């Protein structure tokens, strides 16, 4: 019985590490949350998320590499790029909702001092 529990715990830790490798850090979940409201251009994302262009570029590349964000180069002058969530990113919907709920509860707790 104890080996089964240890095995399950080890698998859980591995799964959590894998998840954090993909969406961890200060910005990735924020960017995914902003993109839940639809496609955004690079500058829009930078403004809405409050992130510098250099960091945004890096974060978007990683999200795209992991299949969570798509990048579309538009045939405009000047050339613009639109970013959107992929179908695969919808698998994180419950995580984002849970984090939003917890964040709201935590903010209330901190503000109320309890």
Q: Per-residue pLDDT for 85 more than 60?
A: yes
Tokens of 109: 């707790």
Q: What is the overall mean pLDDT for the chain?
A: 92
Average pLDDT of the segment spanning 66-78: 94
What are the structural domains of the chain? 27-112 (1.10.10.10)
Within 24-74, residue ranges assigned H as helices are 28-35, 42-49, 53-65
Average pLDDT of the segment spanning 71-86: 94
pLDDT reported for residue 68 = 97
User: CA 19, CA 38: separation in Å to the nearest integer?
Assistant: 23
1: three-class secondary structure by DSSP: coil
Q: Per-residue pLDDT for 3 more than 80?
A: no
Q: Per-residue pLDDT for 1 more than 90?
A: no
pTM, full prediction: 0.85
């Amino acid at each position: 019985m104890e080996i089964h529990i240890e095995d399950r715990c080890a698998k859980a830790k591995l799964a959590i590490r894998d998840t954090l490798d993909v969406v961890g850090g200060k910005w990735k979940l924020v960017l995914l949350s902003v993109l839940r409201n639809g496609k955004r251009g690079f500058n829009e994302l930078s403004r809405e998320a409050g992130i510098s262009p250099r960091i945004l570029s890096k974060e978007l590349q990683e999200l795209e590499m992991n299949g969570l964000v798509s990048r579309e180069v538009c045939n405009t002058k000047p050339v613009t790029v639109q970013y959107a969530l992929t179908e695969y990113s919808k698998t994180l919907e419950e995580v984002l909702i849970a984090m939003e709920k917890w964040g709201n509860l935590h903010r209330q707790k901190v503000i109320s001092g309890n």
